[in-house]
Amino acid sequence: MRGTGRGGRKRTPDHPGGDGRRSGIDPATDTRETTGLPTQRLGQAMYEFFEHTADVGLRVEAPGLPQLFAEAGQALFAVVVGDLERVVPRCERTIALEADGLEDLLHDWLTELLVLLDVDRLVLCQFDVSLSGSRLSAVVRGEPADPARHDLREEVKAVTYHGLGVERISSGWRAEVILDV
Amino acid sequence: MSEKSFSGPLEPITETCWRIPASYRSGMRVEGRIFADEAMLDQIRSDQAPEQVANVATLPGIQVASLAMPDIHWGYGFCIGGVAATDPEEGGVISPGGVGYDINCGVRLVRTDLRSEDVQPRIADLVGSLFKQVPAGVGTRGPYRFDRKELRRILTDGVRHLQSLGMATEGDIDSTEAGGALRGADPDAVSDRAFERGTDQCGTLGSGNHFLEIQVVEEIHDEQAAAAMHLDVGTICVMIHSGSRGLGYQVCDDALNALRKASSKYGIVLPDKQLSCAPVRSPEGQCYLAAMRAAANYAWCNRQLLMWQTREAIAAFFGNRWESLKMNLVYDVAHNIAKMEDHVVNGQVKRLCVHRKGATRAFPAGNSEIPDRYRKVGQPVIIPGDMGRASWVLVGQPASMELSFGSCCHGAGRVMSRSAAIRQSVGRRIDRELAQQGVIARSRSRTGLAEEQPAAYKDVSRVVDIVHRAGLARKVAKLKPLGVVKG
């Protein structure tokens, strides 16, 4: 269910968490309209959701690892909040993590974000990520979840290890992860 | 990765059971067995669930077969609908992937003296009242906030602790699997982070497929068992489906991290990282068991508090007391859990670690684990279906002990991904469609009803029919949904 459409580099037309209306696309470099594949998106990051019978499969691509992790954070919260663009970045948290490898680091990073949702009730919309080897430091921003203002959709229970992968691709990096919802 | 289909062998054993031979893949220690009928096979082959049955067959110490129930579908690690028993004497392992993140996700059924004619004319108002009063959805806090000391007691003593707080009765405890508390739970095995996530979520429904439903008994298939449960055609019931909330998810996550290291330490080769495990008797295995039991006890308390709030809301709505309405718990079953149980393997009684991941215990009549009033009919098995068609009550049958380690299905089983369900509902109002069928559904999430629409699931009655024909459990009552509250 790769998005191939107009205008949205975060093309998630049929997923619970996304409506594909995120801005930031450069139409000049987005060739998916014709090829169906994200082949010329250097300098950009994107995510999409793939089919999984019971849960949510998430695929992220980015030119660099910090963008890949930031984009994965965006995608995670696009599952939780339908209108992520309405979340105001008025609260800030810092995160520091170290893991045995990139896959574990991605798992731990997304899990850390879920805990902020569960414990502090924060929905997050901005993710500034730095990576050094298998160490991650980040500043994330958002605000307390408010059912009156936010389109709260899905509780993500966990980030699974099933099919978890981070790999190099010609245009940068790709990650896949399945979320338990 | 995408949703690949399964092209491996599925050989008929009986008309309701199919084999994946142990020769299918290297590393399989036993065969796989899937309970299904022939008509279901194409759908079962359509995702990776059968491959997951084969993966589980590689776990050290697994006994007899890696099993799957007819509501099988693709999960992570184990398939949903999976059952696996391992023998600690033979190096048998315990795997958090065989329980899932939502430890002791389960379902309970409450019966009432209300009749359909009392409820149906006012169903929209009743659903509205429950929707207001029962916490559900993302980021919702419950009315109960437990400090660390209280939480430790919940984790150790389960529903018994709520009884001491006046929020559970002896009858509730008697009608809950394991009495609402697994022995051997250790709050010290639960991380600080899990405690934090559990502080104010006990008594909240969550989102996804969790629900609270008002149902009416539509058909009785076994008079004696139905009488033991005080169910009759027209009886109004409440079904509640939820689990251990953030506390349980964190316990599972912590354990997967710890056990992934343990797997290599004990020389266990894993076909899927999500299957990380450790010998039951290892310190790592024991630590997970102790934490998992604590999370299971939390989940029973969660469903107990959800029921308590429901009792209060319904009693207030009808201007009565819940005791006068005889809103008594029929039974509460876990469907994501690992338990130490005695089973006969090759004529020998063995103490096994039985994993049920999307599967329900279904012990037959006479089993000492069953409350006295059900001892002659068998353990009640509560099987929720989708919110449009039906749910079922069954009782465990003797063949379940021979064929499935005392287990049967847990629900309808998804056939459609969440995104496909949303695609199918574009331009439709699922709530209005349900209302035309006589079901009033309210969800806090705009997409919740679309994702959970009836067409996203197998027909639960077909699933139940297979476990009935296979002799795992016997049909007692069919319930029709009238009102649905979702997160």
Instruction: Decide if B43 touches A, using CB distance below 8 A.
Output: no
Residues 383-402 on B with a CB inside 8 Å of A are: none
| pLDDT per position as a tens digit, B330-365 | 999 999 999 999 999 999 999 999 999 999 999 999
Determine the distance from the C-alpha atom of residue B120 to the mean position of all C-alpha atoms in its chain, rounded to a whole number: 28
* Residues of chain A with a CB closer than 8 angstroms to some CB in chain B: 1, 14-16, 49-57, 80, 82, 111, 115, 117-119, 121, 123, 144-145, 147, 151-155, 157-165, 176, 178, 180-181
Model pLDDT, residue A22: 35
Nearest residue, CB atoms, B139 vs list A49, A111, A152: A152
Query: Which DSSP category does B275 fall into?
Result: G
Q: A118 and B74 in contact by Cβ < 8 A? A: no
| pLDDT per position as a tens digit, B281-306 | 999 999 999 999 999 999 999 999 99
In chain A, what is the straight-line distance between the N-terminal and C-terminal CA atoms, in Å? 19
- At residue A55, does pLDDT exceed 70? yes
Residues linked to residue B481 through DSSP beta bridges, in sequence order: B215
pLDDT band (50, 70, 90) for residue B3: low
* C-alpha span between B233 and B224 (Å, rounded): 14
Q: Residue B37: name the closest of B466, B361, B480 by CA.
A: B466
Q: A163 and B76 in contact by Cβ < 8 A? A: yes
| pLDDT per position as a tens digit, B183-235 | 999 999 999 999 999 999 999 999 989 999 999 999 999 999 999 999 999 99
Catalytic residues of B: 410
Q: B197 and A164 in contact by Cβ < 8 A? A: no
* C-alpha span between A39 and A60 (Å, rounded): 14
Q: What is the mean pLDDT of residues A130-146?
A: 96
Share of chain B above pLDDT 90, in %: 91
| pLDDT per position as a tens digit, B365-399 | 999 999 999 999 999 999 999 999 999 999 999 99
* C-alpha span between A104 and B257 (Å, rounded): 9
Model pLDDT, residue B139: 79
Q: What does DSSP say about strands B78-86 and A56-62: parallel, antiparallel, or unpaired?
A: unpaired
- At residue A4, does pLDDT exceed 60? no
Q: Chain A: nearest CA to B227, how far in angstroms? A: 36
Beta strands in B77-105, from DSSP E residues, in sequence order: 78-86, 93-94
Model pLDDT, residue B260: 86
Query: Tokens 């082959």 sit at which residue?
Result: B45
Instruction: Decide if B487 touches A, using CB distance below 8 A.
Output: yes
| pLDDT per position as a tens digit, A108-120 | 999 999 999 999 9
Model pLDDT, residue A43: 60
Q: What is the mean pLDDT of residues A156-176?
A: 95
Residues linked to residue B473 through DSSP beta bridges, in sequence order: B396
Q: Chain A: nearest CA to B462, how far in angstroms? A: 19
Q: Which residues contact B44 (CB under 8 A, 6 or more apart)?
A: B6, B10, B34, B36, B50, B72
DSSP string, A59-124: EEEESSHHHHHHHHHHHHHHHHBTTGGG----EEEEEEEE-SSHHHHHHHHHHHHHHHHHHH-EEE
Q: What is the mean pLDDT of residues B11-37?
A: 97
Instruction: Decide if B281 touches A, using CB distance below 8 A.
Output: no
In chain B, what is the straight-line distance between the N-terminal and C-terminal CA atoms, in Å? 29
Contacts of B242 in chain A (CB under 8 A): none
Nearest residue, CB atoms, B419 vs list A1, A147, A152: A1
Instruction: Decide if B256 touches A, using CB distance below 8 A.
Output: yes
Nearest residue, CB atoms, A52 vs list B3, B253, B448: B3
Q: What is the mean pLDDT of residues B419-438?
A: 92
- At residue A126, does pLDDT exceed 50? yes
What amino acid occupies position B120?
A: Q
Beta strands in A6-55, from DSSP E residues, in sequence order: 46-50
Contacts of B136 in chain A (CB under 8 A): none
Model pLDDT, residue B415: 87
pLDDT band (50, 70, 90) for residue A54: confident
Q: Which residues contact B391 (CB under 8 A, 6 or more apart)?
A: B213, B215, B239, B382, B383, B384, B385, B460, B478, B479, B481
Model pLDDT, residue B446: 77
Nearest CA in chain B to A104: B257
Residues linked to residue A18 through DSSP beta bridges, in sequence order: A15
Do B350 and B343 touch, CB atoms closer than 8 A? yes
Comparing B16-25, B244-253, B258-267, B353-362, the range with the smallest average pLDDT is B258-267
Average pLDDT, chain B: 96
Q: Chain A: nearest CA to B133, how far in angstroms? A: 15
Residues 74-133 on B with a CB inside 8 Å of A are: 74-77, 80, 100-102
- At residue A38, does pLDDT exceed 60? no
- At residue A15, does pLDDT exceed 70? no
Contacts of A113 in chain B (CB under 8 A): none
Q: How many A-B residue pairs are in contact by the CB < 8 A criterion?
A: 141
